[in-house]
Structure 1
Amino acid sequence: MDQETVSYILTYHWHLLSEQEKLILQHLLTTEKLMAVTAASVRQRMQILSARKGWLITDKQLLERLADGPDAFRYNTAVTVFNAHGREKLLNLCPRCGLLARTPQARQCRHCGNDWH
C-alpha cells in the first residue's frame, strides 16, 4: 500500500478507526504541529491547551503502539481498516486507469482526466 492510499484511508474513513487509533492519530497530529512552532513560549501554551483538550495522550499502552514510529503506525492502521472493511470498496478508483481519485466523491480522475459523472 502506497503513502497516498494510506493518507486517503486515514482521512476519508476516519469513522472506521477504533477509538484508540483515533486518539493516537490525534496525538500524532498535535505533536507534529507542536514541533513546527519555533517560539518556546507559544509551544508551551499550545502544549498545555492540547493536554487539556485531550489531544495528547499519556497512556503507556497507547504510546507503545508508536514504538516503530508514526509512519509505521499510520501504515498498519490503514492496512487494518482496508482489510477489515471491504478492501477496494473503500477506494474511489478511476474506471479507466485504476488510480485513486482525490476524494471518495470525485468523479474525475486527476491522473488521466477521465470523467465518470
Structure 2
Amino acid sequence: MDYDEDQVLTDYVWSHGYNYMTELEQFGQKAVLARFKAEKSSPVMAQKILEQWWHLNDKGVNEALSKGVAQFQLAVRDRVLRDHPEIVNRCPSCKRVVRTPTAKQCHWCFHEWRKEI
C-alpha cells in the first residue's frame, strides 16, 4: 500500500476527529454515513434510514455537502488540522501518520515506541 499523506490525513480525521469537529461538521458526517447506508440498503430500509437520521434535511448540512462528500471531507480535515494539529499521531521514526491517536507501533515502517515494563 502506498502512502498518500493527504488521503491518510483525511481518513484519520474522519475516523478520529469527531470531537474536534463543529456541530455542523458532525451533522454532516452523520448525513454522509446515513446516505451511504441508505444506498447499500433495501428500498424500505433506506427510506427508514433517511426519515430517521438526524439533520438529513438540514439546510446548512446540505449546503456543506453541495460540492460533494470528498470536498466536505477535505474542508473538515483542513479546519480540524488547522485548529488542532496535536490530534495527529505520527511515527517518531518515519514521521508518517499512524492508525490511531494512541498507536505505539507504525504500520508503515513497523517501528515500535512502547515503553518497556
**So what's the TM-score if we normalise by structure 2?**
0.84
1:10 paired with 2:10, answer no
Give unpaired runs (5+ residues) of structure 1: none
Alpha-carbon offset, residue 51 of structure 1: 2.1
1:62 paired with 2:61, answer yes
Q: Distance in 1 between matches of 2:49 and 2:107?
A: 39
Letter in 2 for 1:44: V
Match of 1:91 among 85, 88, 92: 88
| Corresponding position of 1:36 | 40
Alpha-carbon offset, residue 53 of structure 1: 4.3
Closer, same or farther in 2 for the Cα pair 1:36/1:45, shift >3 Å?
closer
Instruction: Please say if residues 24 and 60 of structure 2, whose CA atoms lie closer than 8 Å, have aligned partners that are also in contact.
Output: no
Closer, same or farther in 2 for the Cα pair 1:44/1:21, shift >3 Å?
same
Q: Secondary structure at the match of 1:2?
A: helix
**So what's the TM-score if we normalise by structure 1?**
0.84
Alpha-carbon offset, residue 32 of structure 1: 1.0
| Corresponding position of 1:116 | 113
Alpha-carbon offset, residue 59 of structure 1: 2.0
Percent of aligned positions that are identical: 25
Alpha-carbon offset, residue 3 of structure 1: 1.3
Q: Secondary structure at the match of 2:101?
A: coil
Alpha-carbon offset, residue 21 of structure 1: 1.0
Between 72-81 and 9-18, the greater mean CA deviation after superposition: 9-18
Letter in 2 for 1:104: P
Q: Distance in 1 between matches of 2:18 and 2:73?
A: 12
Q: Which of structure 1's runs of 4+ aligned residues deviate more than 4 A?
A: none
